[in-house]
């Protein structure tokens, strides 16, 4: 019924949507059958897990004042007697100089699958949390320094999703279908147990080992999904919860992903294109939004016809710039407005590269790369291979395979998806013409061919919970504003802080002073707005006069929370291996 209602809203008839929805039958692998009992969680914790004493040690530079440890958790919380255990990496920072912190705040950066050790130093750096909060981060099962899953070697979506030739659609379907065998074959039986119900039980074990009755929480992006489910499964241990850049955690994952094409297209056409046109004298992409979009479309067509394959850093790295590489760069830079300048510079560079190759051949294009300073070449490599922050669209892989594999496992395991290729192809054909940046790629989806464990997650309702504070920008590309509005309308006791004139994905921690004040007051005192409220956006900054790397500018860094969190995570990871 969820799929029927949702599909009808997209212009697909209820009859056709029902016909396309085929839920997997009763046949299941042994590992899936083992995972079936998870549906009734949470489960009573065996004493051997509660008897652990985390061995904390400093991780990262001393100035971060962060400690990390590993704990043991069961691979399957519903079958602890089998003694098949995995390890989780956790971090802590902040708290008073002497004595015990009065409260504890957990954090999650989203993904799902984002490594989260950096959440501890990040939250500890927030003024509202410095007085009486111990900040906790963790790498969820499947990713980071915790037990990993992997889909290494699985075929990627290298074809052009806009190409509707039957042979191309066959390739997309085959790539989607082959993902599961690679993930399952290399993840040592862990894959079915990388899901939200298992992860919230991991979180509650951490809470008990720390000795706190309640936790406060800050979750971004897919971290809103995780936070809502923790509240649902452990309502008596819920403190002050902030959900920032929201999924529709009251429905299936399908809701969140089919809302992305419209949101990314809106961000591109209504935020980036007008901004680039306004500064055309400097950026030279077109003096109207229509011409900026035409620049992108013409470049995309040129790179599809003749990809530019270039060597960087004295030949140590080779990058193939085709239409998919271009789309990945564009979508990746729409998450935060501080990346708009870098996107504009990259579009101009790729246009010049493509034109040089078209007119004078591959050697001419390579000379344009060789003439770049080494720092600029390194930047281009990083930007072409980086992972995005927050919920990535399907078909847009992370650079880190464990994070990508965890993303796939959680989204495919948690809730049902229409099975087979037909639903995705119909969706692609309908959304592609309206939202070409991402709409055509809706058929690039491993979940359509996934042997899902027999899970039946409890639907979050918010009933009986303390106030939940939700924060959302109106032009968020990765989590459409409609998702926050839908979840808020169904989540009892929630308050929604809407940021108008803003499209960043991840707000709390530097993007908007008004929103920060509301969130800080809530986390420090528990006082939430009496009703839903609105904050005005602070605008998109003009192109910087300095370097193109956002990390070179402390002021820019302070305004991109998820980028800062990723930086903290990189700084404190790897010390427990």
Domain assignment present for 471: no
Residue closest to 211 by CA, chosen among 155, 301, 134: 134
Model confidence at 29: pLDDT above 50: no
pLDDT for res 48: 96
pLDDT for res 397: 58
pLDDT for res 38: 41
Model confidence at 213: pLDDT above 90: yes
The span from the CA of 224 to the CA of 198, in Å, is: 16
Which of 361, 385, 409 is the last residue in one of the domains?
A: 385
Helix ranges (H only) for 267-400 are 273-278, 280-283, 289-305, 323-332, 340-360, 362-370, 374-385
Of the listed ranges 265-279, 355-369, 392-406, the least confidently predicted one is 392-406
Q: For residue 136, count other CB atoms closer than 10 A to its CB.
A: 28
My answer on whether 354 and 424 are in the same domain is no
What lies within 8 Å, CB to CB, of 271 at 6+ separation is: 334, 337, 340, 475, 503, 540
Domain with 411 in it: 2-41+150-191+396-449
Domain assignment present for 30: yes
Q: Looking at residues 495-515, what average pLDDT do you find?
A: 97
Q: Looking at residues 330-357, what average pLDDT do you find?
A: 95
Of the listed ranges 311-320, 378-387, 414-423, 518-527, the least confidently predicted one is 378-387
CA distance readout (Å), 211 to 46, 51, 204, 217: 16, 12, 11, 16
pLDDT for res 225: 98
Domain assignment present for 401: yes
pLDDT digits (tens, 9 = 90+) for 427-451: 999 999 999 999 999 999 999 999 9
pLDDT for res 551: 41
My answer on whether 333 and 187 are in the same domain is no
My answer on whether 273 and 351 are in the same domain is yes
Q: Give the residue with greater pLDDT, 23 vs 62.
A: 62
pLDDT for res 156: 86
Domain assignment present for 287: yes
CA angle 521, 523, 528 (to 5 degrees): 55
Domain assignment present for 345: yes
Which of 362, 385, 408 is the last residue in one of the domains?
A: 385
pLDDT digits (tens, 9 = 90+) for 352-388: 999 999 999 999 999 999 999 999 999 888 888 777 7
Burial (CB count <10 Å: 0-12, 13-18, 19+), residue 220? buried
Model confidence at 7: pLDDT above 80: no
- State which of 9-23, 190-204, 311-325 shows the largest mean pLDDT: 190-204
Residue 398 banded pLDDT, cuts 50, 70, 90? low
Query: What total of structural domains would you count in the chain?
Result: 2
Of the listed ranges 230-234, 325-329, 383-387, the least confidently predicted one is 383-387
My answer on whether 350 and 404 are in the same domain is no
The span from the CA of 303 to the CA of 287, in Å, is: 23
My answer on whether 400 and 380 are in the same domain is no
Sheet containing strand 103-108, strands side by side: 57-58, 66-74, 85-94, 133-138, 103-108, 215-220, 238-244, 468-473, 494-500, 533-536
Tokens of 279: 């500064």
The span from the CA of 72 to the CA of 399, in Å, is: 27
Q: Looking at residues 320-331, what average pLDDT do you find?
A: 94
My answer on whether 358 and 309 are in the same domain is yes
Model confidence at 16: pLDDT above 80: no
Q: Give the residue with greater pLDDT, 45 vs 382.
A: 45
What's the mean pLDDT when you consider all of the chain? 89
The span from the CA of 217 to the CA of 231, in Å, is: 10
pLDDT for res 334: 96
My answer on whether 325 and 187 are in the same domain is no
Domain assignment present for 251: no
Of the listed ranges 38-52, 176-190, 220-234, 271-285, the least confidently predicted one is 38-52
pLDDT for res 41: 63
pLDDT for res 547: 37
My answer on whether 180 and 33 are in the same domain is yes
Q: Looking at residues 229-253, what average pLDDT do you find?
A: 98
Q: For residue 177, count other CB atoms closer than 10 A to its CB.
A: 16
My answer on whether 154 and 27 are in the same domain is yes
Share of the chain above pLDDT 70, in %: 89
Residue closest to 501 by CA, chosen among 514, 488, 492: 514
pLDDT for res 420: 96
Of the listed ranges 112-126, 170-184, 549-563, the least confidently predicted one is 549-563
Model confidence at 289: pLDDT above 60: yes
pTM for this entry: 0.91
My answer on whether 349 and 407 are in the same domain is no
Which of 331, 350, 385 is the last residue in one of the domains?
A: 385
Residue 37 banded pLDDT, cuts 50, 70, 90? very low
My answer on whether 372 and 329 are in the same domain is yes
Model confidence at 478: pLDDT above 90: yes
My answer on whether 24 and 157 are in the same domain is yes
Model confidence at 32: pLDDT above 50: no
Model confidence at 309: pLDDT above 50: yes
Residue closest to 476 by CA, chosen among 224, 165, 283, 307: 224
* Residue 92 β-bridge partners: 67, 136
Domain assignment present for 457: no
Domain assignment present for 177: yes
């Amino acid at each position: 019924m969820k799929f029927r209602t949702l599909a009808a809203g997209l212009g697909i008839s209820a009859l056709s949507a029902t016909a396309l929805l085929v839920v997997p039958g009763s046949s299941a692998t042994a590992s899936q059958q083992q995972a079936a009992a998870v549906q009734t969680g949470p489960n009573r914790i065996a004493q051997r897990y509660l008897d652990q004493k985390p061995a904390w040690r400093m991780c990262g530079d001393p100035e971060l004042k962060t400690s990390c440890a590993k704990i043991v958790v069961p691979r399957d919380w519903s079958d602890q007697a089998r003694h098949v255990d995995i390890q989780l990496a956790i971090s802590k920072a902040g708290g008073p100089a002497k004595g015990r912190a009065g409260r504890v705040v957990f954090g999650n950066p989203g993904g799902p699958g984002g490594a989260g050790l950096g959440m501890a130093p990040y939250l500890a750096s927030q003024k509202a949390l410095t007085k009486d909060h111990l900040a906790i981060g963790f790498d969820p099962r499947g990713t980071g320094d915790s037990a990993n899953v992997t889909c290494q070697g699985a075929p990627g979506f290298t074809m052009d999703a806009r190409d509707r030739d039957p042979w191309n659609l066959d390739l997309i379907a085959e790539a989607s279908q082959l993902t599961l065998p690679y993930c399952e074959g290399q993840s040592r039986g862990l894959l079915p147990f990388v899901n939200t119900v298992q992860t919230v039980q991991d979180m509650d074990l951490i809470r008990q080992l720390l000795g706190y009755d309640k936790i406060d929480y800050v979750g971004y992006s897919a971290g809103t999904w995780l936070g809502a489910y923790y509240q649902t499964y452990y309502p008596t241990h819920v403190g002050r919860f902030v959900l920032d850049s929201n999924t529709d955690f009251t429905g299936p994952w399908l809701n969140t992903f089919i809302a992305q094409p419209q949101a990314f297209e809106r961000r591109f056409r209504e935020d980036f294109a007008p901004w680039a046109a306004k500064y055309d004298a400097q950026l030279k992409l077109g003096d109207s939004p229509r011409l900026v979009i035409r620049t992108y479309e013409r470049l995309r067509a040129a790179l599809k016809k003749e990809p530019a394959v270039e060597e960087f850093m004295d030949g140590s790295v080779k990058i193939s710039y085709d239409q998919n590489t271009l789309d990945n760069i564009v979508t990746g830079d729409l998450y935060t407005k501080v990346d708009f300048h870098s996107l504009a510079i990259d579009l101009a560079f790729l246009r010049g590269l493509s034109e040089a190759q078209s007119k004078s051949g591959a050697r001419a294009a390579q000379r344009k790369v060789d003439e770049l300073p080494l720092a600029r070449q390194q930047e281009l490599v990083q930007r072409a291979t980086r992972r995005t922050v927050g919920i990535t669209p399907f078909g847009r892989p992370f650079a880190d395979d464990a994070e990508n594999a965890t993303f796939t496992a959680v989204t495919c395991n948690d809730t049902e998806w229409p099975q087979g290729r037909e639903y995705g192809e119909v969706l692609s054909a309908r959304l592609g013409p309206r939202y070409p940046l991402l709409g055509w790629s809706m058929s690039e989806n491993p979940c359509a061919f996934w042997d899902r464990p027999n899970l039946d997650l409890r639907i979050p309702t918010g009933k009986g919970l303390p106030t939940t504070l939700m924060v959302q920008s109106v032009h968020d590309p990765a989590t459409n504003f409609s998702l926050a509005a839908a979840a808020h309308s169904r989540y009892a006791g929630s308050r929604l802080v809407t940021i108008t004139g803003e499209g960043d994905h991840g707000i709390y921690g530097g993007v908007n002073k008004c929103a920060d004040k509301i969130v800080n007051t809530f986390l420090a005192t528990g006082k939430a707005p009496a009703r839903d409220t609105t904050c005005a956006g602070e605008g998109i900054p003009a192109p910087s006069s300095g370097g193109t790397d956002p990390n070179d500018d402390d002021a820019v860094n302070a305004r991109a929370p998820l980028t800062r969190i990723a930086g903290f995570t990189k700084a404190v990871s790897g010390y427990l291996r």
